[in-house]
Each structure stands twice: as structure tokens, then as C-alpha cells.
Amino acid sequence: MMSFDEVRPLQLTLKKYRGAGRSIGFVPTMGALHQGHLDLVARSREECDITVVSIFVNPTQFNNPEDLEKYPRTLEDDLSKLRAMDVEFVFHPPVDEIYPRELDTRKDFVFDGLDEVMEGEFRPGHFAGVAQVVNRLLDIVQPDCLFMGQKDFQQVAIIRKMLEQTTHHVKLVMCPTRREPSGLAMSSRNVRLSPSTKEKAACIFEGLSWIRSNAETLTVDQLKADFREKCQIPPFEVEYIEIAVGDTLRPVSNLSDHSYVVACAAVWADGVRLIDNMIIKDSRAL
Ligand code: AMP
């Protein structure tokens, strides 16, 4: 495994592989790697000849400075996990390699409202920052495939929309959410949960599963109210629970009007913000 912290040497190396006709898979991460990240890496290794993993805690996507400061950073541990998976390249740049003073990396992408709901509503500017960093990383790596997790469903929708507005020729692959045995979605933030809060946080998965199981019989309002009730146990506080059209992320009022529907939630657990989602209906033609 080769690791880089500068753009130029990484680009020169990748150019050789690209020139030799090797396909490049790319997995962008913010580090503190867990099995969810490693699933994306495994998928990239399956589908592409070489895999590049980036580890970069992107300051422009944090609307809360305390969240940025508290974000776990475990580089040595991350590198050893990636080495164990035989990843070819790791890119872990400092902030000024990604955002050099002389380069304007901010683009005015249009998200057609995808950035205004749910995470967009509660984390202003977050998706502009996500699009900025992913676009910059794609410029640098120029991969054939980009692997992202369903765990951040709205983020995948945003990046899909962004790709329509760029010249990157990249296939976006959304990989399933990896969960703890309790059902809790794996997240780098979970290390900040106490053992008892972590155990109780399974209520999020249970609430989403309830929505999926009862989607045909209960109203949207009732499903959302039931979710809130299931997660209304201290120290949890539901920030939002939304049932939305899978492509546009617009709120659904009647499930039978749509073929692709997702339930998305953000829940505060003792000062830690957890997000999760579940596709509750998908009857689209293949
Ligand atoms: P992050 O380091 O949180 O920015 O995540 C990097 C990538 O890993 C994103 O595409 C996430 O959606 C994905 N990811 C994070 N957690 C999970 C999970 N539990 N299962 C699958 N993918 C995940």
C-alpha cells in the first residue's frame, strides 16, 4: 500500500495505472474507519483494478465547529485496516492540499431542493461543502467508480445531482448500510456513545423497521408519530423523521402515490447526532 499526503505525486502515480488501462475505484472517507467503510473498500476491490481511499476530515462540510473539533481522528489505525485489505493507495492530505489559497474550489451546483430538506435544513451549508470536497477529490483522483454508503442516502442523491453538472465520467455505486448486531448503523460518531446509550440507540433502527413493516396500513403521520414515540427514551431526542420520495427527497403524504420511498431520521443521543435511513418501498421497474 502506498500512502500520499500530496496531490501531485498521487496524480503522477495514478496516471501510470490509468495509462495502462487499469480501472480505478475511489472511496472517499473522513477516517475513523469501521466495517461500513471497509465494505465500500471491499466492493471497490471487487469491481475495479485498483482502489484509492481518501481520509480527509473536510472542514467545509461542518456547520458546527465543535463537531469538527470532536470528530475522531485515528490515522494510524485506519492505515493498518486498509493495509490489511491490500488497498493500493491511500490519500490523506492536509487541508491546504485540498483547498490551496490560489484555487477556487467552490462551484455553484444546483440541487433542485435536495439540499433544502432533512440534513440540508438542519445543517445549513453542509451539502455545499460535501459537493465541494467530492468534486475536488474527483478532479484529483479521476476514478472510474465512486463508492458511497446508503447510510448517507441524501448525500448520495446530492452527489448524483452534482455529477450531472460536471464532466466527471464516473459510475456512482451506492453500497448498503452496515449495522451493529443491534441494528444501529455503524458510524465514526458511535465511539462517542457510552455503552448503555449505544445499546439503546438500536431504537432508531427499530423505529425505521416499524415504519417499513407498517407502511401499507398506517398513514404517514401515524408512522412518523410512532417513530418519535419509539425514540422518545432519554437521552434521545428526535431532530427529524421524514418519509420522502427516494429520488427527489420531497415529503410523501400518501405512500401509494409513489414507487420509491425512503424514511430518514436524525436523532440526538447524549450530544451525539446520529442519522439513519431505510428504503421502505421500492417497486420501480428495473
Ligand atoms: P464518512 O467517513 O462518514 O464521511 O463516510 C465515508 C463513506 O462511508 C460515505 O460514503 C458513507 O456513506 C459511508 N458509510 C459510513 N457509514 C457507513 C455504514 N454504516 N455502512 C455503509 N457505508 C457507510
Q: Is the distance from the beta carbon of residue 177 to the nearest atom of ligand 1 less than 6 Å? A: yes
Q: Grid coordinates in use for 3?
A: 500512502
**Which segments in the chain show pLDDT lower than 50?**
none
Pocket of ligand 1, candidates 54, 152, 205: which has the most ligand atoms within 8 Å of its Cβ, to mutate? Answer: 152
pLDDT score of 38: 98
Q: Which atom of ligand 1 is nearest to the CA of 37?
A: 8
pLDDT score of 286: 74
Q: Is the distance from the beta carbon of residue 187 to the nearest atom of ligand 1 less than 6 Å? A: yes
pLDDT score of 148: 98
What's the pTM value of the predicted model, to 2 decimals?
0.97
Q: Is the distance from the beta carbon of residue 92 to the nearest atom of ligand 1 less than 6 Å? A: no
Q: How far apart are CA 147 and CA 223, in angstroms?
A: 31
Distances (CA, A) of 120 to 45, 70, 105, 130: 32, 21, 20, 11
Q: Which atom of ligand 1 is nearest to the CA of 150?
A: 12
Q: Grid coordinates in use for 63?
A: 456547520
The whole-chain average pLDDT of the chain stands at: 97
Q: Is the distance from the beta carbon of residue 30 to the nearest atom of ligand 1 less than 6 Å? A: yes
pLDDT score of 124: 93
pLDDT score of 100: 97
pLDDT score of 107: 94
| Catalytic residue IDs | 37
